[in-house]
Amino acid sequence: MTIRFGRMKDWRESPLAALLLIAVFVVIQLGIPISRLSEEGPRRFGWQMFSVARGAPTFVAHTTSGDIEIELVDFVARARGDIDLEEVLPTHLCNVLSDANSVSWENGQLEC
């Protein structure tokens, strides 16, 4: 295997292009994670890996045939710490469980 030592002629050699792209990279890579620091809980795009524990709540669907404790794996593709399931899952459970009258969890309840 050989290396060609021919003079390269491409835009990457331009000092202006280098400076511009380094600046853009630094602004994005520092700006987004820093802006995420002020928000509570784990947040996406901030390199917050395993930094905060966020347990998933227990949901119970109250149906005409009785109460069903919801197994998250049946209704959620991935239960991530940066997703507020209390905000999005109850409405979804009401939509997919046709005989559900309400959905409750530790901190609230939703009438279907």
Partner 1 sequence: MLTSLTSSIDPRPLGLARIIIGIAAVIRSYVAWRVLSRLAEPEVLKIPYAEWLPEPSLGLAISVVGVWAVAAVLFTIGWRVALSGPILLGAIVITLSLDEQAYSNHLYLMAWLVLLLTLASAGSGINIARQDRLIVRWPVFLIMLQASLVYGFSAFTKFNESFLSGSVLASTLGRGVIPFPERLITPQVLSLVAAGVVFVELFVAIFLWRRRLRPIAFLLGLALHLSITLLMTDTLELLVFSLEMMAIYPLFLSRSKLIVIFDGECASCRRWVSRLKQIDVLHVLDPVLSGAPSSPLEATYPEPALQLVHHGASKGFRAMTLALEHLVPTLWVAPILRLPGVRNLGEWWYRSQARRARCPAGIPTNLERGSVSAV
Q: Assess contact for 103 and 109: CB atoms under 8 A.
A: yes
Contact positions with partner 1 (CB under 8 A) in 46-105: 46-53, 55, 74-78, 80, 82-83, 88-89, 92, 96
User: Cβ 50 to partner 1, closest distance in Å?
Assistant: 6
Q: How many residues make contact with partner 1 (CB under 8 A)?
A: 44
Sign of CA dihedral 30, 35, 36, 38: positive
Rg (CA), the chain: 24
How many Å apart are CA 59 and CA 108, to the nearest integer?
A: 10
Contact positions with partner 1 (CB under 8 A) in 1-40: 1-6, 8, 12-15, 18-19, 21-22, 25-26, 29-30, 33, 37
Q: Assess contact for 63 and 101: CB atoms under 8 A.
A: yes
The residues of the shown chain that bind partner 1, judged by CB under 8 A, are 1-6, 8, 12-15, 18-19, 21-22, 25-26, 29-30, 33, 37, 44-53, 55, 74-78, 80, 82-83, 88-89, 92, 96
